[in-house]
Structure 1
Amino acid sequence: MAIAQQVLLRDAMRRLNLTRDLFAARIGVKRRALDTWLLPEGSQESRAMPEVVGRFVTEIVENDALLQKYAQTAQTGPLRDRIAIDNKHQLLSVDQFSRESVEELFQVADQMQPIARRQKVSRVLEGAVLGNLFFEASTRTRVSFGAAFCRLGGSVCDTTGFTFSSMAKGESIYDTSRVMSGYVDAMVIRHPEQGSVAEFAAATNIPVVNGGDGAGEHPSQALLDLYTILTEFSRLGKLLDGAHVVMAGDLKYGRTVHSLIKLLALYRGLKFTLVSPPGLEMPAHLLEKAGCNGHVIEQTHDLQKGLQGADMVYATRVQKERFAGETLEGYDEAFQVGRGIIDRCCAPDVIVMHPLPRDSREGAHDLSTDLNHDARLAIFRQADNGIPVRMAIFAVLLGVEGLVQHSMRDVTWVPPSHIGPDDSVFHGMY
């Protein structure tokens, strides 16, 4: 006789010693979905739990090793202390996160959604000043960080490019960082040289966030990407554990995929298919990192072959500005991710992502614009998720995440029901 889903779920939570919030995070679903599965079958709001979730929960409760792995662990102290680096509240790499801590950050991001979606306002960072120091061109990341800080009540000072900074006069990273620390309460740094953000962070005790360091990492982008993947999979009733993830494009210099593959490696039993033009393969040390925890890794230069059976496709542009003598071969029309190849090779519920900006110029062969009105394209939902995730990062690093829930009040203006005219129906802000 089959066990009722409500009984199975409650038994699992009891044996794991988890609250509903933590249990939902552990199995990779939204709390609101879990709530509907726990309601009595006669309730109008009750929903059937997806079969894949039932199998996963059953596997956990029937396996002592998995029970121990997914059980509530004794974590003490604020999240910012548990992800600190060199005892500083800074975000330089996704290596600072465990699966538990990243999902705890996402719970904070969930709390930020009413503010990010213009329903509520909060002033928990009132009086705080953010220094946005971008020594490399940026639109989305710079504005997203600034908007996230402002939506929590703070203010922002921007500087963009070497030409307009004192570093053009020969000032050292140490001096710049130390001086700026006297002016602002947190800094976001983007710099074209790998490792440079760590130099800024070493010269100060205020929170520093890595906004991208050359071909190194982009941790906040990877966090919002993972948040988007979990959100999209939850909407589809799918789990990230066991999923087939395709990364396509410049995997050598694409710092977004460098950070993302390390975060995804925290999950269980994934299949990674890495598709790149010859010479732009994923670096070996990241392949080693991704190969842990029972993951399968395949590499190919054939996009059509690589896309077969994908649950999620993460396309990224070729970063020619970072080339060091490479010659680009095999990057032609056949390498472009567009509607035709997605329809031929992928399931109807595949999710297509891209960190943006995408190169829409002729001959670029980046993510095609013919997917713009396709609900499978998640790039704009992905970009929008940058606000709540970066709000969560600031709240955690500055120690105010516990104040946000009770600080909210209704907005006094009328926000739009959808951000863009072509957004999918499930993208609605309400």
Structure 2
Amino acid sequence: MQFAGSHILGISQFERGDVERLFTVADQMRPYAHRERITRVLEGAILGSMFFEPSTRTRISFGSAFNLLGGEVRETTGFEHSAIAKGESLYDTARVLSGYSDIIVMRHPEEGSVSEFAAASRVPVINGGDGANEHPSQALLDLYTIRSELAGRDRGLDSLRIAMVGDLRFGRTVHSLCKLLSLYDHLRISLVSPEALRMPADVVETLRRAGHDVLETEGLESGITDVDIVYSTRIQEERFSTREEADLYRGRFRLNQSVYTANCEPNTVIMHPLPRDSREGAQELDIDLNDNPNLAIFRQSDNGVIVRMALFALILDVAEQVDQHAVPVSWYTERRF
């Protein structure tokens, strides 16, 4: 794909070479994300951040990524704080805000809404999540994390063994990740969920057409055996009609240290797009896993900044200029990476 000036709306835009290009640039972003150097390559540029659903990591990491490249961020959060609450259309909103920004990140609860917005925008738009549909930047950072975690074992992404666990019906992160995994070879994928929350059939068919071995099961213990990665998801309560309906499935696939020890290989990596639900009765990833060195969820969230920096650098066509605008860090920064 041609990154410069492009919208990023879904994983179908990417070929394997595009992912590898993105990851190469992401590796170059690491010293800036880790506060080892500063760059001002996007000084004067403005990111329009429009989040019409709750978000912590995605919203703040996109903003941090843009700031770390030297740009500024202007935010709108929630319908109640925008003119959409007064009846303004997505078309009009896009036309206006694309005049104020150089690039826009948008999250919206309705599937296809970000694509509709992008069609009217005068600047590139990145999909920060549209309903239960897709979350492309999350899938990219997830795959980057898998690549990084396996690198120390002399393993690549081909022949990956991965289990996805939980709400696979409404979890947009796993939808996008599965589409991304279809670009690789000889994968074995276990899809562990209740019958009512199975992965959409079209996503499963995409994996099988790519030649992957796909197992759909309701058995947690058998599903997480002999895998490199366990990718857990929370019950997407906001996609259910009532909380009571969501409660029928909450806590059904709880991974704790005893389940991990009994069923996983000693170096199986544990991932989760976050937030994990730590409320009593949920805890899809128990807090007793916090001291497990294979728990990668916080390394995963750190990687979100790195990958989103790379997306900005490529879309705004400054990837080759980042180091030219670099200076040393002048303040005290704790070594936390």
Task: Please confirm whether the aligned pair reaches a TM-score higher than 0.5, indicating the same fold.
Answer: yes
Q: Is the 8 A contact 1:315 1:354 kept in 2?
A: yes
1:289 corresponds to which of 194, 203, 206: 206
Percentage identity across paired residues of the two chains: 53
Could you tell me which residue of structure 1 aligns to residue 278 of structure 2? 360
Could you tell me which residue of structure 2 aligns to residue 401 of structure 1? 319
SS at match of 1:294: coil
* Cα deviation 1:277-299 (Å, max 9, x = unaligned): 22000001101111133200000
1:8-407 equivalences in 2 (<5 Å): 79-80=2-3, 89-324=6-241, 327=245, 331=249, 335-407=253-325
Q: Is the 8 A contact 2:236 2:246 kept in 1?
A: no
SS at match of 1:238: coil
Judging changes above 3 Å, is the alpha-carbon distance between structure 1 residues 332 and 176 closer, same or farther for their aligned structure 2 residues?
closer
- Provide the rounded CA distance (Å) in 1 between the counterparts of 2:140 and 2:250: 31
Q: Is the 8 A contact 2:48 2:105 kept in 1?
A: yes
Of structures 1 and 2, the one with the larger relative CO (CA 8 A, separation 6+) is: 2
Q: Is the 8 A contact 2:111 2:131 kept in 1?
A: yes
- Provide the rounded CA distance (Å) in 2 between the counterparts of 1:238 and 1:369: 28
* Cα deviation 1:319-370 (Å, max 9, x = unaligned): 0210258945873655201111111111111100000001000011411111
Q: Which runs of 5+ in 2 are unaligned?
A: none
* Cα deviation 1:66-118 (Å, max 9, x = unaligned): xxxxxxxxxxxx8415xxxxxx6110001111111101100000000000000
Q: Is the 8 A contact 1:262 1:289 kept in 2?
A: yes
Q: Is the 8 A contact 1:248 1:313 kept in 2?
A: yes
* Cα deviation 1:49-82 (Å, max 9, x = unaligned): xxxxxxxxxxxxxxxxxxxxxxxxxxxxx8415x
Q: Which runs of 5+ in 1 are unaligned?
A: 1-77, 82-87, 419-428
Give the counterpart letter for 2:298 in structure 1: F
Judging changes above 3 Å, is the alpha-carbon distance between structure 1 residues 154 and 332 closer, same or farther for their aligned structure 2 residues?
closer
Q: Offset at 1:416?
A: 1.2
Judging changes above 3 Å, is the alpha-carbon distance between structure 1 residues 380 and 256 closer, same or farther for their aligned structure 2 residues?
same
Judging changes above 3 Å, is the alpha-carbon distance between structure 1 residues 190 and 334 closer, same or farther for their aligned structure 2 residues?
closer
* Cα deviation 1:2-23 (Å, max 9, x = unaligned): xxxxxxxxxxxxxxxxxxxxxx
- CA RMSD of superposed structures (Å): 1.5
SS at match of 2:126: strand
Judging changes above 3 Å, is the alpha-carbon distance between structure 1 residues 339 and 165 closer, same or farther for their aligned structure 2 residues?
same
Could you tell me which residue of structure 2 aligns to residue 7 of structure 1? none
SS at match of 1:202: helix
Judging changes above 3 Å, is the alpha-carbon distance between structure 1 residues 392 and 97 closer, same or farther for their aligned structure 2 residues?
same
* Cα deviation 1:214-254 (Å, max 9, x = unaligned): 00100000000000000000022222211210000100000
Give the counterpart letter for 2:269 in structure 1: I
Q: Is the 8 A contact 1:277 1:328 kept in 2?
A: no
- Provide the rounded CA distance (Å) in 2 between the counterparts of 1:143 and 1:330: 32
TM-score (norm 1): 0.76
TM-score (norm 2): 0.96
Give the counterpart letter for 1:417 in structure 2: R
Judging changes above 3 Å, is the alpha-carbon distance between structure 1 residues 287 and 118 closer, same or farther for their aligned structure 2 residues?
same
- Provide the rounded CA distance (Å) in 2 between the counterparts of 1:198 and 1:93: 9
Give the counterpart letter for 1:340 in structure 2: S
- Provide the rounded CA distance (Å) in 1 between the counterparts of 2:316 and 2:331: 28
Give the counterpart letter for 1:374 in structure 2: N
The answer to which of 388-397 and 361-370 deviates more is: 361-370
- Provide the rounded CA distance (Å) in 2 between the counterparts of 1:116 and 1:79: 25
- Provide the rounded CA distance (Å) in 2 between the counterparts of 1:188 and 1:249: 27
SS at match of 1:121: strand
The answer to which of 180-189 and 328-337 deviates more is: 328-337
Judging changes above 3 Å, is the alpha-carbon distance between structure 1 residues 281 and 90 closer, same or farther for their aligned structure 2 residues?
same
- Provide the rounded CA distance (Å) in 2 between the counterparts of 1:329 and 1:323: 10
